[in-house]
Amino acid sequence: MRFFSKHQDFSKSAISVIALVNCLANSVLAFTPPPVFENTVLSRTIDITGSYVRETVSITIKNVADKPEYIYYFALGPDSFTKIAVFEGRERRSNKGSLLTITPSTKTNDEENVNFYEIELSTPLKPHEESVIQFGIAFVDQIAPSPEYASQSDSQLLSYDGSRFTLSAYPSISQTLKVNTVGFNSEDLTAEDFQADEDNKEEGEEKYNLLPESEATALTYGPFTNVKPYSVSPMIVRYEYPRAVLKTTKLQRDIWISHWGATISFEESYQLHHFGTKLKDNSFSRLEFNKRSPDYNLNIASFKGMEIMLPENAREPYYTDLVGNVSTSHFRKSHDGSSLTLKPRYPLFGGWNYNFTIGWSVDLDEYVKTLEPDTYLLKVPLLQGPEEMPYDEVVINIVLPEGSTGIDIATLHPSQPETLFFTKSYLDFAGRPSLQLVYNNLIDSYRRTFVFVTYKYTPQAAFSKPLVLSGVFATLFTSILFLSKIDLSVSSFKPKKA
Ligand SMILES: *[C@@H]1O[C@H](CO)[C@@H](O)[C@H](O)[C@H]1NC(C)=O
Ligand SMILES: *[C@@H]1O[C@H](CO)[C@@H](O)[C@H](O)[C@H]1NC(C)=O
């Protein structure tokens, strides 16, 4: 995670683009991290209960070198490397459990087909000393329907391709893996094939029992002992999933600030995509849909609507799609927030898209504080929007009042190699200075992070509020995943009778 802040005077009207180093350029082709660590105990949990993959990896590392070491290389296959939405870690050695500094490495090892993240320990680890490091990682686009097509009366089967061994540049004394599933007929499609190969291994070679133990809502593997560096054991977990799997291929989020009207208006345009099982021959039958069979089938896995939480004091909400206002949207206000329930006119099946726009307003002082006379601080969530949502692309436009100057922006940026760019442009948007932020591979957890903008603005009417800056920037570094419930409750996946 990095903190970006760049001051630029709007009067220059410049379009500036901060393009960060492309990590894959200038790479060292066969980098091997020095063998200074050993994974004493490595345990990994892969959670595939939602529409993106969440992993937690806990590693007891030991310095096996003869001098203090502080850089641990976390290895990832190139497929995983480009799909990271969040990668954060903490170290348990310091009792605070401080967040670790994690940087995608420019070094790769093409022979072993791996990329690395550099993990900087809080203090160097002395020879023979151990420490526990833990990671929370979220990946997008790692789940796909298998088979891709089915008929409306079939159930939706999804698959996750991964490895039973956790890829590592270091040897592991012991590794375990747990795959949390929704608990509907999960199976490891390849385990038996690979087990036969394991059993035929030569004398002296390490043999593993690759067959998982199936529990109601999990597959557990291992412990695997003495796993060599860069070991992989490909697996395909296939499971029945009685819910729509959605992603937003593109979100445009426009935030308009009006001092004159003392409001902030939000407008969000979603291009939604159901990436689950597609209907064979595109043969949707309304009759079959209305039958409401109690069995799992694609009707149950279709998208029929969702609830979007809005700020408690949201006003004038609206929801439109291509045809205009949608009568079935429903706005509800309560003490813990407001929500907008959307229902498209037709159920959405795998491969289908749905575009819609929502909007709302709140009072200006919910998000804008006066720092000093005529100088303001805007603090808005990076995302709002629905739960359990991966995003391919998010474009955020922040439109400031006409005449704003001295604009400065700070935000947390996802540390994802493909998205190591950050577009900041000052566009002339109907005469109002605007900032544009472009992100790839986000997930709903980014609702807990903020974009900060400071600007100077001299309105006709005085607008002043008390100075509230202390502590604001500290909140930039809060954890995204560790604060969230990583193990989702399975009870919410009870088959719904449409
Ligand atoms: C949508 O609803 C708003 C408010 O009720 C109304 O002003 C607007 O004309 C409607 N638009 C369409 C396309 O029906
Ligand atoms: C959604 O919007 C995008 C971009 O305007 C367009 O290419 C796409 O066809 C739209 N999809 C639907 C289902 O309307």
**Distance in Å, CA 345 to ligand 1 centroid:** 17
Report d(CA 403, CA 371) in Å as an integer.
Answer: 18
Distance CA 408, CA 452 (A): 8
By 3-state DSSP, what share of the chain in percent is helix, strand and coil, each rounded to 5? 10, 50, 40
Phi/psi region, residue 406 (left: phi>0; alpha: psi -120 to 50; beta: rest), is left
Tell me, what's the pLDDT at 444?
Answer: 94
Q: How far is the CA of 324 from the centre of ligand 1 (A)?
A: 8
Helix (H) or strand (E) holding 43: strand 37-47
Question: Ligand 2, closest atom to CA 354?
Answer: 13
CA distance 7 to 145: 46
Q: Is 348 helix (H, G, I), strand (E, B) or coil?
A: strand
How far, in Å, from the CA of 327 to the mean position of ligand 1?
Answer: 10
Query: CA 15, 367, 268, 158 torsion: positive or negative?
Result: positive
Is the C-alpha dihedral spanning 366, 372, 376, 379 positive or negative? Answer: negative
Report d(CA 279, CA 300) in Å as an integer: 13
> How many angstroms is it from 358 CA to the middle of ligand 1?
13
Nearest C-alpha to atom 4 of ligand 2 is from which residue?
A: 271
Strands (E), 335-460: 337-342, 353-363, 368-372, 375-381, 390-399, 405-413, 421-424, 426-429, 432-443, 450-456
- Of all protein residues, whose CA lies closest to atom 11 belonging to ligand 1? 325
Query: What residue owns the CA closest to ligand 1's atom 14?
Result: 325
Q: Is the CB of 355 under 6 A from ligand 2?
A: yes
392: CA distance to ligand 2 center in Å?
Answer: 15
- Per-residue pLDDT, 324: 57
Q: From atom 13 of ligand 1, which residue's Cα is the shortest distance away?
A: 324
Gap between the terminal Cα atoms of the chain: 41
Rounded to two decimals, the pTM is 0.82
For residue 295, the model assigns a pLDDT of 73
Spacing, Cα 316 to ligand 1 middle (Å): 11
Q: What pLDDT score was predicted for residue 477?
A: 44
Q: Is the CB of 323 under 6 A from ligand 2?
A: no
Both tokens of 180, joined, read 């949390």
* Intervals of the chain under pLDDT 50: 1-28, 327, 414-430, 461-478, 482-498
At residue 49, what is the residue type?
Answer: T
pLDDT of the residue at 470: 35
Q: Which ligand is nearest to the CA of 327?
A: 1
Q: Which residues line ligand 1 (CB under 6 A)?
A: 324-325
* Whether the CB of 353 sits within 6 Å of ligand 2: yes
Residue with the nearest Cα to atom 1 of ligand 1?
Answer: 325
Distance 235 CA to ligand 2 centre (A): 36
User: In this structure, which residue's CA is closest to atom 10 in ligand 2?
Assistant: 355
The closest-lying atom of ligand 2 relative to the alpha carbon of residue 352 is 13
* Gap from CA of 398 to ligand 1 centroid (Å): 25
- Give the ligand at the shortest distance from the Cα of 323: 1
CA of 325 to the centre of ligand 1 (A): 6
Task: Give the pLDDT of residue 3.
Answer: 29
Q: Which two tokens stand for residue 383?
A: 């995302």
Measure 252 CA to ligand 2 centroid, in angstroms.
13
Which DSSP category does 385 fall into?
A: S
Which single residue is written with the structure tokens 């291992």?
Answer: 222
How far, in Å, CA of 366 to CA of 346, rounded?
A: 36
CA 429 / ligand 1 centre spacing (Å): 25
| Beta carbons of 134 and 74 less than 8 angstroms apart | no
Query: In testing the pocket of ligand 2, which one of 246, 249, 272, 353 has its CB within 8 Å of the most ligand atoms?
Result: 353
Residue from 316, 318, 325, 329 to probe ligand 1 pocket by mutation (most atoms less than 8 Å from CB):
325
Q: Is the CB of 209 under 6 A from ligand 2?
A: no
User: Which ligand 1 atom is at minimum distance from the Cα of 324?
Assistant: 13
247 has which bridge partners? Answer: 273
Mean pLDDT of the chain: 81
Residue 365 CA to ligand 1 centre (angstroms): 27
Whether the Cβ atoms of residue 498 and residue 292 lie closer than 8 Å to each other: yes
Ligand 2 centroid vs 310 CA: distance in angstroms? 25
DSSP secondary structure of 230-273: T---EEEEEEE--S--EEEEEEEEEEEEETTTTEEEEEEEEEEE
Residue 487 contacts residue 180 (beta carbons within 8 Å): yes
Is the beta carbon of 271 within 6 A of some atom in ligand 2? yes
Q: Which residue has the least CA distance to atom 10 on ligand 1?
A: 325
On the question of a cis peptide bond just before residue 317, with omega within 30 degrees of 0, the verdict is: no
Q: Is 322 in the pocket of ligand 2 (CB under 6 A)?
A: yes
pLDDT value at residue 448: 86
